[in-house]
C-alpha cells in the first residue's frame, strides 16, 4: 500500500476484468476513490462475451478490500447519455473527478483482410475503441478544465503504433486513439488537464484479472487456445508477455502528480515489440 493517488477520484472504464481490473486494484492500493464502469453485457457483432455484472462486482470487492471507496456503474461508452450519467454519478458521490482511464475496448471482430470487413464490424470497433474515449472525455473534460486540473489516461495498444495484418479496424481505432490523445493534450494544456496514452503489447490473460483479449486475438488468427501464449511469446523481444499489472503501473504514474509535466505522451509497455 502507498499513497500516490491519495485524495484522487478516478473513473475506470472496462473495469470488469483484464487491464481494467488491474488498473482499478492498482489505483485502490494507491488510495484512490474509484468509479468502476463496464457495459456488463454482450455487444452485438463482437464475437466473444463482454464482462458480466458479477465480474464488475468482483473488481469492486477487490478494491474495497484494499480500502478504497467504490461506486460501480453499468454503462455503455457508445452512448453519450451513459457517459454523462457516469460523470454525474461520480460527482454526486465524490464531489469531482481527478482521473479518467479510458480502458473499455474490443479486439474483435477481426482476423480478415480489409475488403472482407463489413460496415457493421467497422462501426462497432470505432464506436467502442475510439468513440468511447471521446465521449467519456467530453463528459469529464469541461469540469476538469474549470477546476484547472486532471489526468486522462487512454489505454491504446501497440496497434496504435504499428500495423497488424488482418486487423485493419482495430489498428485504425487504436491509431485514432493515439491521435485523439495528442490533440486533446494540446486542447487541455492551458487548463492543466493532462492527456496521455499507454500502448500495451501482448498482455497475458491472467486468472486473477479474468482477461481474455489475447485469447480472442489468437482465435481471430486461427491459433488454438492452448497454444496462443507460446505463439505470442515468440514475437516478443523480451521473450515474455506483458502482465496487466505492468500496464496498470504506467497508468498509476500518469494519474499521479509525479507525471505533472507529461502530456501528449504515448508510453509503450510492450517488451520492446514496437522498437523493432
In the annotation, is 170 catalytic? yes
For strand 9-13 and strand 99-102, is the pairing parallel, antiparallel, or unpaired? Answer: parallel
Q: The pTM is what?
A: 0.96
> Cα 196 to the chain's mean position, in Å?
12
Q: In the prediction, which pLDDT does 204 show? A: 83
Please count the other Cβ atoms lying within 10 Å of the Cβ belonging to residue 113: 9
Please count the other Cβ atoms lying within 10 Å of the Cβ belonging to residue 261: 7
Q: In the prediction, which pLDDT does 107 show? A: 92
Cα–Cα distance between 80 and 170 in angstroms, integer? 22
Q: Which of 164, 170, 191, 273 is catalytic?
A: 170
Contacts of 105 (CB under 8 A, 6+ apart): 14, 128, 129, 132, 155, 157, 173
pLDDT digits (tens, 9 = 90+) for 98-111: 999 999 999 988 88
Q: CB–CB of 72/20 below 8 Å?
A: no
Exposure on the CB side of residue 276, measured as CA atoms within 13 A: 13
Of 93, 32, 87, residue with least CA distance to 63: 32
Question: Grid coordinates standing for 78?
Answer: 457508445
Long-range contact set of residues 230-238: C-beta below 8 Å, sequence gap at least 24 = 232/202, 233/202, 235/202, 235/273, 236/201, 236/202, 236/270, 236/271, 236/272, 236/273, 237/271, 237/272, 237/273, 237/275, 237/276, 238/271, 238/272
Q: In the prediction, which pLDDT does 225 show? A: 63
Cα–Cα distance between 243 and 239 in angstroms, integer? 13
Cα–Cα distance between 262 and 153 in angstroms, integer? 11
The dihedral through the CA atoms of 115, 43, 16, 210 has a sign that is: negative
Strand runs labelled E in the chain: 9-13, 33-38, 70-74, 99-102, 150-155, 193-200, 266-269
- Those residues of the chain that have pLDDT short of 50 are none
Amino acid at each position: 500500500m502507498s499513497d500516490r493517488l491519495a485524495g484522487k477520484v478516478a473513473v475506470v472504464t472496462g473495469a470488469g476484468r483484464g487491464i481494467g481490473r488491474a488498473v482499478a486494484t492498482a489505483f485502490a492500493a494507491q488510495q484512490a476513490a474509484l468509479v468502476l464502469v463496464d457495459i456488463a453485457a454482450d455487444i452485438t457483432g463482437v464475437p466473444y462475451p463482454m464482462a458480466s455484472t458479477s465480474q464488475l462486482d468482483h473488481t469492486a470487492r477487490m478494491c474495497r478490500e484494499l480500502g478504497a471507496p467504490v461506486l460501480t456503474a453499468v454503462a455503455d461508452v457508445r452512448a453519450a447519455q451513459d457517459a454523462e450519467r457516469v460523470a454525474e454519478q461520480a460527482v454526486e458521490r465524490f464531489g469531482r473527478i481527478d482521473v479518467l482511464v479510458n480502458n473499455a475496448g474490443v479486439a474483435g471482430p477481426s482476423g480478415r483482410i480489409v475488403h472482407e470487413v463489413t460496415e457493421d464490424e467497422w462501426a462497432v470497433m470505432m464506436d467502442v475503441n475510439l468513440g468511447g474515449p471521446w465521449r467519456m472525455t467530453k463528459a469529464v473534460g469541461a469540469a476538469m478544465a474549470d477546476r484547472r486540473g486532471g489526468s486522462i489516461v487512454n489505454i491504446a495498444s501497440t496497434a496504435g503504433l504499428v500495423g497488424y495484418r488482418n486487423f485493419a479496424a482495430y489498428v485504425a481505432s487504436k491509431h485514432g486513439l493515439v491521435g485523439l490523445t495528442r490533440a486533446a493534450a494540446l486542447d487541455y494544456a492551458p487548463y492543466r488537464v493532462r492527456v496521455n496514452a499507454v500502448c500495451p503489447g501482448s498482455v497475458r490473460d491472467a486468472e486473477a484479472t479474468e482477461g481474455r483479449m489475447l485469447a480472442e486475438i489468437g482465435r481471430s488468427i486461427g491459433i488454438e487456445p492452448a497454444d496462443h501464449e507460446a505463439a505470442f511469446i515468440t514475437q516478443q523481444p523480451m521473450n515474455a508477455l506483458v502482465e496487466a499489472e505492468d500496464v496498470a503501473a504506467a497508468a498509476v504514474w500518469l494519474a499521479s502528480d509525479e507525471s505533472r509535466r507529461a502530456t501528449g505522451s504515448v508510453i509503450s509497455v510492450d517488451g520492446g515489440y514496437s522498437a523493432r
